[in-house]
Amino acid sequence: MALTLPQNLNDLLERTLDRQVRLAVTGLSQAGKTAFLTSLVNQLRHAGLDARLDLLTPVREGRILGAQRINQPDLSIPRFPYDEGIAALSSAPPRWPEATRGISELRLSIRYRSRTRSRHLLGEQAQLTLDLIDYPGEWLLDLPLLKLDYLQWCERMAELMTERRKHYAAPFLDAVAVLDPTMDADEQQLAELAARYAGSLHKARNEGGYTYVQPGRFLLPGELAGAPVLQFFPLPDLGDADRERFAALPAQSIYKTLEARFEHYKRTVVGPFYRDYFRRFDRQIVLVDVLSALNAGPDVFGDLRLALSTLMQSFDYGRRSLVNRLFNPRIDRLAIAATKADHVTPEQHPRLLSLVEALLAEPIKDLRYADVPVRAFSLAAIRATEARTVAGNADQQQPVLKGTTQDGEDVLLFPGDVPEQLPDADFWQRQGFTFTSFRPAPFTASSALPHIRMDAALDWLLGDKLR
Ligand SMILES: Nc1nc2c(ncn2[C@@H]2O[C@H](COP(=O)(O)OP(=O)(O)O)[C@@H](O)[C@H]2O)c(=O)[nH]1
Ligand SMILES: [Mg+2]
């Protein structure tokens, strides 16, 4: 008897904890987070009806009763614009949901019939609460700043400066080169340099396709536009050797002013963002737009790899145990997903999968070490193309995609072979890959969105919570 009581208590607690899941949908800007969330809500609302979710076990077993949006915990945060997204997708011509400019929250309640015997005998209908947030991907890359001081950050930023990046940053680099950091700071001058620095980040992102751009608020300042907390920048050519030399500088020196603003930014902008939204996750899906990076070339591809592995160090991972679930929740299972898989023909999907695994090889090693299960997927949250075949050379059938480009042109095309491993010089030489962006397929607001393997990813992330 003495032994069974704690066991029962344990079960009870486990079961209570299993009623709520906080899922971190992680991805840099343009990775497909908003599309994923829109599709997730749509699929779960249509589960058991017209959604195609055969790979989601509780749906296949006919145990999902429905899903509803319920009031989110924090009423001061905007609601995730699901209806607006659906309205965009079902307009004529269909449009993608708007780019995200701020934080929004979403809480879903999923009703299901439990499979476990004890609950079943009681005829219990179980309920799972799923909490999600959406945010601009630009801001996410600020999380790693919390672990750096100003000088370390300057060094990191200098390491990123490839020739192409230097080109985008030229107006800033030229101006900062003549700056003496030991001199007294001039407000006007710092504001002007910060504007140039922000300009170089915009160019690197918009023209170059780079993802590792810090600080994220410089790209999307929100209500902080023009505030002095955003008027800083990294000083190039500084190193550890400068630490001692600069330590004794007066507070009004350029160096000390920039350092103080950097710390202030961390404390008042990044810290609260992390504290309020990025702690206490149970599950995670890391969305990666591998195909755009392939399109953009070796520099951007390497940059994405670095950005992702840096980013993943900002989350807490660990095996699930009752104690840490109660007091210190950590991510105990995660999915990594190559998004927009409908940009390539289906026979390329296994290659896309091994490519995203190769891209995240380093963080995956750490996760294995922490004994946290990871699975890779290739998916399309909102499928915009159809797979077809046409007669090719020598009686071979050639797989192709049928879709409508963003400009409204109907096309039938083969985008190319996805490399199976991290691409080598040879691949980049051949320029083997070009894809077109597609418009979403026509869609009526009352139906389920077409997708690729959303069900498989959801099964991995939530299936065990819906038993
Ligand atoms: N073909 C296709 N394009 C997608 C898909 N998901 C996202 N996209 C494209 O990628 C863009 C950015 O997606 P979004 O979800 O806004 O990215 P976020 O910045 O991570 O929220 C969209 O506007 C679409 O053009 C998908 O499943 N299929
Ligand atoms: Mg978004």
How does pLDDT run across 153-194, given as a tens digit for each residue?
999 999 999 999 999 999 999 999 999 999 999 999 999 999
**pLDDT value for 122:** 54
292 Cβ closer than 6 Å to some ligand 1 atom: no
Q: Ligand 1: does its nearest atom lie under 6 Å from the Cβ of 215?
A: no
pLDDT category at 1 given cuts 50, 70, 90 is very low
Question: SS3 of 149, please?
Answer: coil
Q: What is the mean pLDDT of the chain?
A: 92
Q: What residue's CA is closest to ligand 1, atom 13?
A: 32
Ligand 1 within 6 A of 345 CB?
no
Which residue ranges form the domains of the chain, and what is each CATH number? 18-135+277-385+443-466 (3.40.50.300), 148-274 (no CATH)
Decide if 422 contacts 304 (C-beta within 8 A): no
pLDDT above 90 as % of the chain = 78
Ligand 1 atom nearest the C-alpha of 343 is 1
> What's the gap in Å between 339 CA and the centre of ligand 1?
8
Question: Is 343 close to ligand 1, i.e. is its CB under 6 Å away?
Answer: yes
Q: Does ligand 1 have an atom closer than 6 angstroms to the CB of 100?
A: yes
Other Cβ atoms closer than 10 A to 35 = 23
Instruction: State pLDDT tens for residues 338-377.
Output: 999 999 999 999 999 999 999 999 999 999 999 999 999 9
- The whole-number pLDDT of residue 123 equals 57
Q: Cα 74 to the chain's mean position, in Å? A: 22
Ligand 1 center–CA 62 separation, angstroms: 30
Residue 118: per-residue pLDDT: 60
CA 151–ligand 1 middle distance (angstroms): 36
Q: Place 119 in a pLDDT band, splitting at 50, 70 and 90.
A: low
- Over residues 15-40, mean pLDDT: 92
For 129-142, the pLDDT digits (tens) are 999 999 999 999 99
Residue type, 9: L
Q: Are 415 and 387 in contact (CB under 8 A)?
A: no
Q: Provide DSSP, 47-60.
A: TTTT---TTSHHHH
Q: Which residue has the tokens 């079960």?
A: 11
Pocket of ligand 1 contains residue 439 by CB under 6 Å = no
**Rg of the chain in Å (alpha carbons):** 24
- The pLDDT > 70 percentage for the chain reads 95
Mean pLDDT, to the nearest integer, of 42-69?
96
| Plot region of 297 (φ>0 → left; ψ -120 to 50 → alpha; else → beta) | left
Nearest ligand, CA 100? 2
Tokens describing residue 177: 């080169």
Decide if 244 contacts 214 (C-beta within 8 A). no
pLDDT band of 434, cuts 50, 70, 90 = confident
pLDDT confidence of residue 13: 73
The residue written with tokens 């997903």 in the block is 337
Window from 7-16, 32-41, 227-236, 275-284 with minimum mean pLDDT: 7-16
Count CB atoms within 10 A of the CB of residue 435.
Answer: 17
In our burial notation (b when 16+ CB lie closer than 10 A, e otherwise), range 82-98 reads beebbebbbeeebebbe
Does residue 35 line the site of ligand 1, with CB under 6 A? yes
Q: Which of 25, 26, 29, 30 to mutate to test the pocket of ligand 1 (most atoms within 8 A of CB)?
A: 30
To test the pocket of ligand 1, the residue of 211, 308, 437, 454 to mutate (highest count of ligand atoms within 8 Å of its CB) is 437
Instruction: Give tens-digit pLDDT for 252-308.
Output: 999 999 999 999 999 999 999 999 898 889 999 999 999 999 988 899 999 999 999
Mutation pick for ligand 1 pocket among 84, 382, 452 (CB with most ligand atoms within 8 Å): 382
pLDDT band at 326; cut points 50, 70, 90: low
Q: What is the DSSP string of 324-340?
A: HHHHS--B-EEEEEE--
Residue nearest ligand 1's atom 2 by CA: 340
What would the pLDDT profile of 91-108 be if each residue is shown by its tens digit? Answer: 999 999 999 999 999 999
Q: Is 360 exposed, middle or buried (0-12, 13-18, 19+ CB in 10 A)?
A: buried
Ligand 2 centroid, distance to 102 Cα (angstroms): 9
pLDDT at 73: 79
Residue 412 has pLDDT above 80, yes or no: yes
Q: Is 348 in the pocket of ligand 1 (CB under 6 A)?
A: no
- The closest residue, in CA terms, to atom 11 on ligand 1 is 30
Other beta carbons within 10 Å of 408: 8
Residue nearest to atom 28 of ligand 1 (CA): 340
Range scoring the smallest mean pLDDT among 10-19, 206-215, 374-383: 10-19
Crossing angle of helices 33-45 and 454-462, in 10° steps, is: 80
- Summarised one tens digit per residue, pLDDT across range 57-72 is 999 999 999 999 998 8
Structural contact between residues 78 and 103, judged by C-beta atoms closer than 8 angstroms: yes
What angle (nearest 5°) sits at the alpha carbon of residue 258, between those of residues 254 and 261? 140
With vertex at residue 290, the alpha carbon angle to CA 286 and CA 291, rounded to the nearest 5 degrees, is 140
Give the pLDDT band (50/70/90) at residue 325: low
Tell me the average pLDDT across 430-440.
Answer: 83
